[in-house]
């Protein structure tokens, strides 16, 4: 991660709560606000241990809902310092040799 990654992750976290409310209100409308990519992954980072986990892939609305659920569960477990973010997932391109990369 670069030096600005924690700031971007914090900004993402605050916007996740707003987006989840919009998804629950109107799932079709939120699709227009999501970036074009193959899928989304929920990233969970513990700054105290350096542990990093990812979950998915999901479509955009389901990634936001999963992230919100994980955030709520972490908060209930008094783990508010653990970061939860939704990130874009891009499938690898198949190499020219004809062998395919392992993809989710």
HSE, side-chain direction, 13 A CA sphere, residue 80: 3
- Cβ atoms of residues 53 and 4 within 8 Å: no
pLDDT digits (tens, 9 = 90+) for 6-61: 555 555 555 666 666 666 666 666 665 666 788 999 999 999 999 999 999 998 88
Residue with tokens 């008094």: 78
Inter-CA distances, 99 with 91, 92, 93, Å: 15, 12, 10
How many whole angstroms separate alpha carbon 95 and alpha carbon 33?
32
pTM for this predicted structure: 0.62
pLDDT digits (tens, 9 = 90+) for 49-74: 999 999 999 988 899 899 999 999 99
């Amino acid at each position: 991660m670069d030096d600005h990654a924690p700031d971007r992750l914090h900004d993402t976290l605050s916007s996740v709560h707003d987006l989840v409310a919009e998804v629950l209100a109107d799932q079709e409308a939120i699709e227009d606000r999501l970036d074009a990519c193959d899928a989304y992954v929920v990233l969970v980072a513990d700054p105290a241990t350096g542990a990093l986990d990812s979950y998915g892939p999901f479509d955009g609305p389901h990634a936001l809902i999963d992230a919100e659920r994980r955030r709520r569960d972490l908060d209930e477990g008094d783990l508010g310092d653990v970061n939860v973010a939704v990130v874009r997932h891009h499938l690898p391109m198949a190499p020219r040799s004809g062998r395919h990369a392992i993809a989710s």
